[in-house]
A and B are shown apart, each in its own frame.
Chain A
């Protein structure tokens, strides 16, 4: 990456983090949603310790996936509305690098809090302590992949007035592999089985998403801006 591209990458990450900080109330919504979704299960299914411990991996992962979806539509929308998106695409720097900067900032603001809250919520659902490291590792690999894949969807729907309605339907099927490997890893660890295979699969998904998604999202944005 050239010095100019690195500088612009850093400037965009810094800008989006600064914007998130100045609107920090909005950014707490996905986290609050995550907490509420997981709280629904003890209320709706059963407060039994054994039942909750079985549900915990799937519930925490489904909650993380839904919470990521909730904020995904905002990734490019305000940039499109205020014209900073077209300025970004007119930059001489490669658009995929700039998209990656936006996704990184988005993950730091919405994904990382989910990674940190995950073990707390899983503990409240009586997930065995020895499965917690696997949950955190899985979330660390899985949530960036969710943000990257989400960026592709968001780039395509940002130009549509009701894109926010379409986006979850578009993305949920694509999130299924991350959900199954993520929850599978935790369930395996809770049962005392090796979870490395699931984590490798998550790592592979992340590597694939990180190499392809920025290009796809940049192409999607060019279509949406035209």
Chain B
């Protein structure tokens, strides 16, 4: 509840009646969801079901064809900077410059947060297992290491909502453990998360709710 309490409103992400169309095909319609403090929403579905599109809508990168997303009771458009200060998105694209070192990449990401980093970028790199690789160019890192570097953004940017698109892709078993630790710590501190994943996240089941997208149909249930 770090960010939310600072803004005087409970962090809560809600969506109502969302519809998205891509390439003339309806990905989903009438989609509603709500995520509260300490909860993780796992978005499941086959490839092409619209998981990534939904995540991009939820963090405000894309406008839905219908419906609206609300943060702490305000539509995203009005929540504006308050919302963007509360969200970190780790998407398919790593958000890294290949010609910058791991540390330089993370320092820019921290600066874009607009306030002092939550922890020193060097310490964040050590925590994601890249302490030795701080001065290696991101382009020379392996796919799994690049993934870890992208996840290090979660440590330097204090945010109450994490939106993670396939955080377990390309990471090894230790990396999956790291993601699970990060998520558990975040949820225990009252954070929210919306995650897509094909592999088990290692987060206690009572914290997880599942949203399944399939051929335009939406089903919701406990994990």
Contact = CB atoms under 8 A, between A and B. Distances in A.
A11 B108 contact: yes
Chain A CB count within 10 A is highest, among B93, B94, B96, B111, for B111
Interface residues of B, dominant DSSP = loop
Interface residues of A, number: 29
B61 A88 contact: no
B93 A4 contact: no
B97 A82 contact: yes
B84 A92 contact: yes
A46 interface: no
Contacts of B63: 226
Interface size band for B? 20 to 34
Contact of A18 (B100, B109, B115): B100
A4 B85 CA distance: 12
Given A4-B115, A15-B97, A82-B98, A87 B84 contact: no
Interface in B86-134: 87-89, 91-100, 104, 107-109, 111-115
Nearest to A86: B61
B92 A83 contact: yes
Interface in A36-94: 81-84, 86-94
Nearest to A79: B97
Contacts of A84: 95-97, 108
A188 interface: no
Given A8-B112, A15-B108, A90 B94 contact: no
B81 interface: yes
B93 A86 contact: yes
A90 B115 contact: no
B93 A81 contact: yes
Interface in B56-90: 56, 59-63, 81-82, 84-85, 87-89
Nearest to B112: A91
B104 A90 contact: no
Given A8-B112, A11-B107, A11-B108, A90 B89 contact: yes
28 contacts: A2-B114, A4-B114, A5-B114, A7-B114, A8-B112, A10-B111, A11-B107, A11-B111, A12-B111, A15-B108, A18-B104, A22-B99, A81-B93, A82-B98, A83-B92, A83-B94, A83-B95, A86-B93, A87-B109, A90-B84, A91-B112, A91-B113, A91-B114, A92-B81, A92-B84, A93-B81, A98-B112, A225-B61
